[in-house]
Structure 1
Amino acid sequence: MKFRIYAVLSIVLSFFLFSCASKGSDSIESMNSALASAKNAKPPLLGPRTTPAQGKDGPRIEEQFGMPVNIVRTDGLQYAILAGGCFWCLEGVYELVPGVEDVISGYEGGSAPSPTYEEVSTGTTGYAESVLILFDPAKVSYGELLDIFWHIHDPTTKDRQGYDVGPQYRSAVFYLNDTQKAEAQKSIRAQQEEWPVPIVTEVRPAGLFWPAEDYHQDFYSNNPDYGYCQVIITPKVEKVFQAK
């Protein structure tokens, strides 16, 4: 009788331990899967963006999308266009930088007009997930924006940033004039001394910048508790601002 009881208990215990181990493995796989697919999910709660040209102090970036952005502004503000993985990440950090007036998530580097997120996600359009940064050079320089750029992504991985894989996630600086081109090249040379492997960041002239869909705009500030934001973006924000 005792033997039967022990046998039953042994079977139950074995099943319990196996279930726990399986759940642990499933948890890891589930987390990996969630992170890999998080950008394809549209969170149910998104703060509305009144206009794709809305800045901190009202409209800042003119309704000029679909046109070349290498223009001279009359208010002294300047543009920068950067790509380095998920545009949520770059936007989330740069929106908090003093001297940055506005940040728009969008697509740069391709040629087809009006690209959609679904099209860019195929990796066949030539576009990269990018951010258009409007900044006040009297408060933050282009070089300082680049310094931050190197700290919030890995410029040595080609067509990949963590779970985000494909040419749409490549590292790139899209310059708007010769001064930005020279500064980007100089910055890369300086950064290369900090990396044991070659930096693969592209330095290319900016073409047409297309804003991403509304649900991508201000994503981090609207959804700080979203899983991808907590796991991926918040550490980048903390890295930049704790270092200051």
Structure 2
Amino acid sequence: MKKTKKIGFGGSCHWCTEAIFSSLNGVKTVEQGWISSLNDDNEFSEAVIVNYDEDIIPIENLVEIHLNTHSCTSEHVLRNKYRSAVYVFNSFQEKECLQIIKKLQADFNQPIITKVISFDKFKLNHDHYLNYYYNNPDRPFCQNIVNPKLQKLISLFPNVINTDKMTSIEKLDELLPEIKKF
């Protein structure tokens, strides 16, 4: 068994990103807050650190899920707050993620703007905002913003979903008819 690995992701609200990665088999923990990088993009931006078991969910799956669950091709006005990034912790991970994104570009009609950048610092969010979606699934933000992203996750990547965590999604059984709950 390999040790737990970590990688950072940013691209949309960290509540959304946290909910996405917290819903996956093989993800051990998700730390939600702000990340700065060693590159030119050194301002803190909303992001998460994902600690995962690569024997259960490989980095390729995590990057593909990230690209498909936020606007990875859009340079919108809030991009400084929601930097589209994969934050890496070493040069091997950087090379691997660059290759993954290059390969996945064929799946998108527009150029992927997601950057692969070196992690520098992390600031954890306040306790009452951590695990926000799973602590507050009935809040309007969760129902209107997070749920559609989770439904997209379910439709695109049904085999990596931790269905025990996804009980707040209406009609889960209809979305995942062929998947046996763990």
TM-score class normalised by the smaller sequence: 0.7 to 0.9
What's the counterpart of residue 175 of structure 1?
88
Residue 126 of structure 1, aligned match among 20, 29, 43: 43
List runs of 5+ in structure 2 lacking aligned partners. Answer: 159-182
Matched, 1:107 2:39: no
Q: Secondary structure of the residue that 1:169 maps to in structure 2?
A: coil
Q: CA deviation at 1:158?
A: 2.0
Partners of 1:104 and 1:217 in 2: CA distance: 8
2:129 to 200, 216, 232: 216
Instruction: Tell whether the 8 Å contact from 1:103 to 1:134 is kept in structure 2 after alignment.
Output: yes
Residue 25 of structure 2: aligned partner: 98
CA distance in 2, matches of 1:109, 1:159: 19
Distance verdict in 2 for CA 1:141–1:153, change over 3 Å: same
Q: By how many angstroms is 1:125 displaced?
A: 7.6
Question: Number of paired residues?
Answer: 154
The answer on whether the counterparts of 1:159 and 1:170 sit within 8 Å (CA) in structure 2 is no
SS state of the match for residue 131, structure 1?
strand
Q: Which aligned pairs between 1:190-205 and structure 2 lie closer than 5 A? A: 190-205=103-118
3-state DSSP of counterpart to 1:167: coil
> Percent identity at matched positions?
28
Task: Tell me: CA distance 1:110–1:139, structure 2 relative to 1, closer, same or farther (3 Å).
Answer: closer
Q: Distance in 2 between matches of 1:131 and 1:175?
A: 12
Match of 2:63 in 1: 146
Which amino acid letter does the alignment assign opposite residue 154 of structure 1? S
Matched with 1:81 is 8
The 8 Å contact of residues 37 and 87 in structure 2, kept in 1 or not, is answered as no
Q: In the alignment, is the contact (CA less than 8 A) between 1:126 and 1:168 conserved in 2?
A: no
Q: Deviations over 1:129-152 (max 9, x none)?
A: 010111111111111111110111
Q: In structure 2, what is the equivalent of residue 186 of structure 1? A: 99
CA–CA distance in structure 1, aligned partners of residues 75 and 64 of structure 2? 19
8 Å CA contact retained: 1:108, 1:206: yes
AA of the residue aligned to 2:154: F
CA distance in 2, matches of 1:102, 1:208: 18
> 1: distance between equivalents of 2:50 and 2:87?
11
What stretches of structure 1 of length at least 5 have no aligned partner?
1-74, 112-123
Q: CA RMSD in A?
A: 1.9
Instruction: Note the C-alpha offset of 1:159.
Output: 4.9
CA contact (8 A) 2:89 2:119 kept: yes
Match of 2:72 in 1: 155
> Which residue in 1 is equivalent to 2:149?
236
- Looking at structure 1, the residues matched to 63 and 90 of structure 2 have their Cα atoms a distance apart, in angstroms, of 15
Q: Provide runs of 4+ in structure 1 moved above 4 Å.
A: none
Q: Deviations over 1:87-134 (max 9, x none)?
A: 0001001111001011010111168xxxxxxxxxxxx98111010111
- 2:162 maps to none
